[in-house]
Amino acid sequence: QVQMVQSGAEVKRPGASVKVSCKASGYTFTNYDINWVRQATGQGLEWMGWMIPKGGDSGYAQNFLGRVTLTRDTSRSTAYMELSDLRSEDTAVYYCARGPHSSYYAMDVWGQGTTVTVSS
C-alpha cells in the first residue's frame, strides 16, 4: 500500500539546522509531488512548500523563503526537508504529504509526522 514514512524525532539548539526525511513506497515516486506541512502544538496546519521529484523544482511559502530547502533522492524514493536557523517557534510536528497534482491539487497520503523540538 502507499506509505510515507518519516524519520524520527529531533531535538535541536536555536540557530541549528534540522533535516527530516520522508521515504515513499507503494507508488512511483516521481509521479507525485511532495508537500511539507507543519503543526505547532495545539495549533493549526501550516503549508511550508512543495517539491516535484521528477525535476527537483520546488516552491515555498513566503514565511519560509530562505530558511527551508526541499530536496530528494529518487534512487531512494526519499524526500528531504531542511530548516535552518531554528528558533523556539519552529518547535512543531512536521509532515510530508503526497500531492497527486497531475489529477488534482490536494494532499492525499500523509507521513506519520516528525516532532522537532528547538530548545536551549
Partner 1 sequence: QSALTQPASVSGSPGQSITISCTGTKSDVGGYKSVSWYQQHPGEAPKLLIYDVNDWPSGVSRRFSGSRSGNTASLTISGLQTEDEADYYCCSYNGLTYVFGTGTRLTVL
Judged by the rule CB under 8 A, the positions of this chain that interact with partner 1 are 35, 37, 44-47, 50, 59, 61-62, 95, 97, 104-108, 110-113
Please calculate the CA angle 49-55-57 and round it to the nearest 5 degrees.
30
Kindly tell me which of 57 and 74 has the beta carbon lying closer to partner 1: 57
CA atoms 59, 100, 82, 44: torsion sign: positive
Kindly tell me which of 62 and 75 has the beta carbon lying closer to partner 1: 62
Residues 34 and 96: beta-carbon distance below 8 Å: yes
| DSSP annotation of 105 | S
Kindly tell me which of 63 and 74 has the beta carbon lying closer to partner 1: 63
Cβ 95 to partner 1 shortest distance, Å = 6
